[in-house]
Structure 1
Amino acid sequence: MLLVERETPEGVLVSVCDADDLGETFEAGEVSITVDPDFYDGEPADESEVTAALARCTVANLVGTRTVEVAIEAGYVAEENVLEFDGSRHAQYLQL
């Protein structure tokens, strides 16, 4: 997984993707998502590092089967809120 943490005026923004998804575009009907390297290309991270970043963040954008599974297992994302794309998954997390 690739992890990026950005400080914003509203808090910490985290983006995480499966490394194999970087640069790819996935579709689901009329909807598509591009895993843009400018946004998602970060440092390699393991499950514990991703979970720790999710604990610190205000907002997270998550792309990839493994990435989304880590967020679900850690309790940050509910399975029913995950978008399924042809070949990948996407979820967002917002801490209120």
Structure 2
Amino acid sequence: MYLKVHHISGSGDVVAVCDRELLDTTLCHGDVEVCVTRGFYGSETATEEEVRRALKGAANVNLMGKRVVAIAIDMGLITRENCIMIGDIPHAQLFRI
């Protein structure tokens, strides 16, 4: 998995995580195209434990992929119904207010 924390002054951090095989790909579903880039998801790999720690207190999360979404579901952060599918890849965003 790839994990990047975007530090945004005044509005909290954005934690972006994607499954390893999705990095540098473009996902398509109908007219929708999503580019899974290093600029957003990072270029450093992370373990499941590192991902769990990052997600635990995050106020803003962006998840792309079957494994990372499964981790968030296991942690009780989202449900499968909260995800959208881009082709056969689940994507979820979480915002804590």
TM value normalised by structure 1: 0.90
Q: Equivalents in 2 of 1:37, 1:56: separation in Å?
A: 23
Output the aligned Cα RMSD.
1.3
4+ residue runs over 4 A deviation: none
1:18 alignment counterpart: 19
1:36 alignment counterpart: 37
Determine whether 1:80 maps to 2:81: yes
Gaps of 5+ in 2: none
Q: Equivalents in 1 of 2:95, 2:3: separation in Å?
A: 17
Give the C-alpha shift of residue 64 in structure 1. 0.9
Q: Percent identity?
A: 35
Give the C-alpha shift of residue 93 in structure 1. 0.8
Partners of 1:3 and 1:17 within 8 A in 2: yes
- For the residue of structure 1 that corresponds to 2:73, the secondary structure is helix
1:70 alignment counterpart: 71
- For the residue of structure 2 that corresponds to 1:44, the secondary structure is coil
Q: Equivalents in 1 of 2:7, 2:58: separation in Å?
A: 9
Q: Equivalents in 2 of 1:19, 1:3: separation in Å?
A: 10
**Given residue 18 of structure 2, which amino acid in structure 1 is its aligned partner?**
C
- For the residue of structure 1 that corresponds to 2:76, the secondary structure is coil
The farther-off stretch of 29-38 and 67-76 is: 29-38
Gaps of 5+ in 1: none
